[in-house]
Amino acid sequence: MERRLFGTDGVRGTANIWPMTAEMALRLGQAAGRVFVRGDHRHRVVIAKDTRLSGYMIEPALTAGFVSAGMDVMLAGPLPTPAAAFLTRTLRADLGVVISASHNPYQDNGIKLFGPDGFKLSDAIEVEIERAILADAAPALAGPAELGRALRIDDAHGRYVEYLKSSFPRGMTLAGLKIAVDCANGAAYHIAPDLFWELGAEVVRVGTSPNGFNINHDCGSTHPENVARAVLAHGADLGIALDGDADRVVMVDEHGQIIDGDQVLALIATQWQEEQRLTGGGVVATLMSNLGLETYLADRGLPLLRTKVGDRYVVERMRQGGYNLGGEQSGHIIMTDFGTTGDGLLAALQVLAVLLKKNRPVSEVARPFTPLPQKLSNVRVQRRIDLTSPVIEQLIKDSQAKLGRKGRLLVRASGTEPLIRVMVEAEDEALLSDILGSVSGAIASYADSPAH
């Protein structure tokens, strides 16, 4: 069955346009509820959301769907995606749901699902739910006496903050550090500043005034220059930039220079290897991670295992091979010693722990390797195009031949937006720019051609 609703990270789309409508959310709640109602105990689902205006539409629709399927709904309010995964496990819920489109603008929204173990659902379960949503027949619903109830989780914020603090080395404090924290006007706007302040830091708050429309707008991990300006303006020791649902992090040093997910992976891997805490004998990342990271880790005897783009695929590979560290260049960092999904705040705390142990400026520690020059281009398309067509495959083959062994070309369809993403790496920056432009232009022309 071709997946029509679920992408690489749940269901996502423009708010109030199918599939991101109240009707679909209701159906999803009913379908997922019936799939996860197993046994005779009271079934529970945790629902969290970010700060988008459309969350007010989707949350009650989902709640109605789950209640009608016989599940009790626990509403956590604005809360990071990894916090919902954490609460699903610790509250012994049968299902966790996050209403968020992550790093996308406010016009978009999405629905992500977690199983009772806190991990994202498998493709097979998502297909089962999707079939039920799209079926012509009316769903089987609970009887009048078996309807669920809805209640608020009043201590969700505090539970998650204490969990995060427990991951930080005992006896270590952030006292004496000034940290600029950009919450992207998203789900962590009230949690992240509290966390770092409670651990002793002086906190410069950035992107902590959500209004329903400004999530990720010129702020957060997709615009790290915003927190970089705050670092320089306030003389901070470092900056931390989260995305709208705080499952990814990008950092900047005291000079405002960016530290991306690849550098974070390298830093944590090196420290954990020294402390004999790294399991599996390597690190898991995606096709997007820089060749510089792969070379750096190889020099330390650590292979870099690559997966398709998407933190769910990184997690799957980690679980298969017993790896406890993996992530994406975009800032999804997964540490299975602590959590089940990407967590920007957990990753930031691990980086801070390394910095305190080294007792050196961030700029001297947090960029352990020199990346190969890499550029990205997003080609917006109006409809899905076949990237395995002979025309596109020949284009990719010819371009890769020009790059040779010292460069890489990656062309893929976004799983969350109507985009074709083109990434080129090469030592020769002129060649890099030439291939990026020619491939992006050719794909745009191909997509616009009525013959395809």
Q: Is 187 helix (H, G, I), strand (E, B) or coil?
A: coil
Residue 16 CB contacts under 8 Å (≥ 6 apart), including other chains? 22, 54, 57
* Pair of tokens at residue 153: 């989780």
Distances from the Cα of 120 to the Cαs of 161, 177, 206, 214, 377, in angstroms? 22, 35, 30, 27, 28
- Tell which residue, 356, 381, 376, 377, has the closest CA to residue 366: 356
Q: Which two tokens stand for residue 57?
A: 């539409």
The C-alpha atoms of residue 338 and residue 406 are separated, in whole angstroms, by 36
Is residue 102 among the annotated active site residues?
Answer: yes
Instruction: Give me the DSSP letters along 387-438.
Output: TTSHHHHHHHHHHHHHHGGGEEEEEEE-SSSSEEEEEEEES-HHHHHHHHHH
Q: Are 439 and 424 in contact (CB under 8 A)?
A: yes
Q: Helix count (H) and strand count (E) of the chain?
A: 14, 19
Amino acid identity of residue 30, one-letter, is Q
Q: Specify the length of the chain in residues.
A: 452
Residue among 54, 68, 100, 102 flagged as catalytic: 102
Among all residues, which ones are annotated catalytic?
Answer: 102
